[in-house]
Each structure stands twice: as C-alpha cells, then as structure tokens.
Amino acid sequence: MFKFFRGNHSLVAEPIPNRVADVQSSIQSGLRVHARGERRVQSVQLADELASVYDQITDAQLPATTETTDIRAFFSGVDRDLQRTRKAVEVVEDSLQIGLGHSKLARIAMTGAQLNSGVALVIAGHNLLISADKLDRAHTSIGSVQDIAAKRFHEFYRAIGLFVAEAILFTTPLNYRMAWKGTRYLNNRFLYSLRHSGFSGSVDVALKGLHRLMLSEIHYAIRGILPAALRTPDEFVTYLTSMATQTLAILREFSDLGLEDIPAKAEEVVHEYRTFAENTYEVVTADVDVESVIQDVITQLSGDVDFFSISSPNKNTNL
C-alpha cells in the first residue's frame, strides 16, 4: 500500500499516487454535495453538528503551540482526542456522503496504535472543530445565513479538506511537522506542504494535483457552481485570480518568495491553473485576457495581503 524511505528524519511513509487519488475523489464528491445544493445552509448545519463535538473539549486539551515531537506524551495528555476525532469523522461522512474509514479509526482508538499518524489527524480534527465552532457562533450571532462573512465558510471548507485528507492518509501521513498556531496557519501550512512535499516523481505530481484540486473544489463550494461554469468569462476570471492569488499568498507565507519574484511566478501559476482546469474537468474554458488576470494578481499581492479577502475577488464579500 505504501513504501518507506530514510531521509533527514526518522522512517517516513510515502503516500502512493493511488492513495492521493482517493483523497482527491473524496474531497471532490463531498464538496460537490454542497456546491449543488443550499451550500450555506448545509455548511451551517454541518458546523452545528461539529460544534456540539467541539463543546466537549477545552483549551487545556488542545495541542501545544510548539511542534509535537513527543508523540506518546501528546496522547497521554489528550487521551480522549481519538474518540472526538472518530465522532468528527462520523459527522463528516454522513454530511458529505463519503467514506473515511470510520471502522479503521475505531480500531486505532481502541489500541492506540499508529501514533505518528494519529497526531496529524487529531490536530486536523481540532482544526475542523474550531472552524466549525466559529461558523456556528457567527450564525448564532448574525442570524441570517446569507450575512455570514465568506471567510468563515472559506476557513471551514479548508479545514474539511485537510481533515478528509488526513483521515484517508492517516496510515501514510505527509512528511511535514505539525504545529498548532490556529486554523488559518494550519490550513495554509498543509496546502504548502502539498506543493512542496519533498517527494519526487509520480508522488510529487499527485500531491501538487491535490493542492490544486482542493483549492478548486473549495472555490466551487463557496460560490455554489460546478466546473462547467468556467465556460463563462466572469467565472473563469474569478477562478484564475482566486487560485493564483491564494497559491502565491501561501508561497509568500512559507517560502522565500519575494515581491520581485511575484510577476514571473504569477504568470506561471495562472497558466498552471488554466491548464489544470481544462485537463482535470474536461471543460472548454472561456477565452479571457490572461495578461489582465496576471496583472490583477500582481496588484493584489503587491501590498499587505488579507488572505481571506482574496478567496473570492468580488466586491460582495458574502459571495
């Protein structure tokens, strides 16, 4: 199912492309359930269910803000975390109508085996529960689903994508060191690790594809569209601008990408997503002014980037 290699770290599992493809399929089919229906209503309902699980944890039980290195000590301090993770898996499976191997997780919860894999999944579970609680609180405070800020949904969907990926890959976790610094940090760090995993060949290609697909499917779910909508110029421009700006913002956060590097990188990434959309979704995309899109991306990244404001480059932040 997977193979191992030795590098600068201890023995690390390398996910094979077929396992990554399972993640892609689950995220795509799961989020499409929301894209096709009353997405905001469905999202709030799912968040409400997950928030009830969140209510069972306290700040003292959350992982420390530093990187987790002592795995057994981590689980001795949060001995009920796997039970909450299992419950979160159940809720997500039911809502998105996908299988995440709940029975397999149940065995882990009973035996405490595969602790390395469990750390990443537990932290991803906390990330999802906190994102759900924020969305649920926003709904309670505002009342109207339509008036909730788009960034709450954006963060929530990213947390779902991360959780789904970790649930499927928990026996072959990605080679990155988990750190708890809040939902935004963890979501972005995970997406960066997909693009720059340190693997090579077919595994690297598969993980980069997962990065693009996760951002794309979150985009469709938030906007309530399917890939066929990319045939229209406005939607395709919005898609390309959003994908490129988010990807470059992540690169700026976790790599040495400087302002002087942005123009060339923006051109590369915009063309990358154009090719990805056409090849992955087999849709004839609209004929748009790509140079104008590139310039817009550069402009947005030239100053201080508000990451969530660029998730949907429209005047109406509730779209």
More confident residue, 218 or 121: 218
Residue 3 lies in a domain: no
Task: For residue 170, give both structure tokens.
Answer: 């928990």
CB 183 within 8 A of CB 308: no
Burial 83-119 (b: 16+ CB within 10 A, else e): ebbbbbbbbbbebbebebbeeebeebbeeeeeeebbb
Confidence of residue 7 (pLDDT cuts 50, 70, 90): very low
Highest mean pLDDT among 68-82, 94-108, 142-156, 301-315: 142-156
CB 105 within 8 A of CB 89: yes
Q: Which of 179-183, 223-227, 277-281 is predicted least confidently?
A: 179-183
* Residues facing 4 on adjacent strands: 13
Confidence of residue 4 (pLDDT cuts 50, 70, 90): very low
Q: Is the pLDDT of residue 262 over 80?
A: yes
State how many domains the chain has: 2
Q: 60 and 196 share a domain?
A: yes
Cα radius of gyration (the chain) = 19
Q: 143 and 61 share a domain?
A: yes
More confident residue, 157 or 57: 157
User: Using CA atoms, how far apart are residues 312 and 179, in angstroms rounded to an integer?
Assistant: 27
Task: For residue 294, give both structure tokens.
Answer: 């590139």
Average pLDDT estimate for 16-30 = 84
Residue 2 lies in a domain: no
What pLDDT, on the 0 to 100 scale, is given for residue 6? 27
Give tens-digit pLDDT for 84-110.
Answer: 788 888 899 888 888 887 666 666 554
Residue 163 lies in a domain: yes
The contacts of residue 34 (CB under 8 Å, 6+ apart) are 42, 43, 96, 221
List the one residue out of 189, 183, 203 whose CA is nearest residue 23.
Answer: 203
Q: 143 and 250 share a domain?
A: no
Output DSSP code: residue 113.
-
Q: Which of 194, 216, 238 is the last residue of a domain?
A: 216
Q: 71 and 131 share a domain?
A: yes
Q: 142 and 42 share a domain?
A: yes
What pLDDT, on the 0 to 100 scale, is given for residue 15? 60
Q: 179 and 32 share a domain?
A: yes
Q: Which of 21-30, 33-42, 211-220, 308-317 is predicted least confidently?
A: 308-317
Q: 283 and 185 share a domain?
A: no
Q: Which of 18-22, 33-37, 93-97, 192-196 is predicted least confidently?
A: 33-37
CB 50 within 8 A of CB 132: yes
Question: Is pTM beyond 0.85 here?
Answer: no
% residues pLDDT > 70 (the chain): 71
CB 313 within 8 A of CB 245: yes
CB 182 within 8 A of CB 205: no
What pLDDT, on the 0 to 100 scale, is given for residue 66? 46
What value does the mean pLDDT of the chain take? 78
Give tens-digit pLDDT for 45-81.
Answer: 999 999 988 877 654 455 544 445 555 555 555 556 6
Q: 108 and 165 share a domain?
A: yes
Residue 270 lies in a domain: yes
Q: 77 and 141 share a domain?
A: yes
What pLDDT, on the 0 to 100 scale, is given for residue 181? 59
* Residue given tokens 């939902």 in the structure block: 183
Chain length of the chain? 319
Residue 256 lies in a domain: yes
CB 84 within 8 A of CB 129: yes
Q: 26 and 112 share a domain?
A: yes
Confidence of residue 116 (pLDDT cuts 50, 70, 90): low
Q: Which of 216, 246, 271 is the last residue of a domain?
A: 216
Residue 204 lies in a domain: yes
Q: Is the pLDDT of residue 226 over 80?
A: yes
List the one residue out of 260, 227, 261, 259 whose CA is nearest residue 243.
Answer: 227
Helix 102-111, helix 81-96: angle, nearest 10: 180
Coil vs helix vs strand at 13: strand
> Which residues span the domain enclosing 268?
225-314
User: Using CA atoms, how far apart are residues 187 and 16, in angstroms rounded to an integer?
Assistant: 22
Coil vs helix vs strand at 3: strand
Q: Is the pLDDT of residue 203 over 90?
A: no
The contacts of residue 174 (CB under 8 Å, 6+ apart) are 15, 120, 190, 193, 194, 197, 207
Q: 210 and 242 share a domain?
A: no
CB 19 within 8 A of CB 1: yes
Angle at 127 between CA 122 and CA 131, to 5 degrees: 145
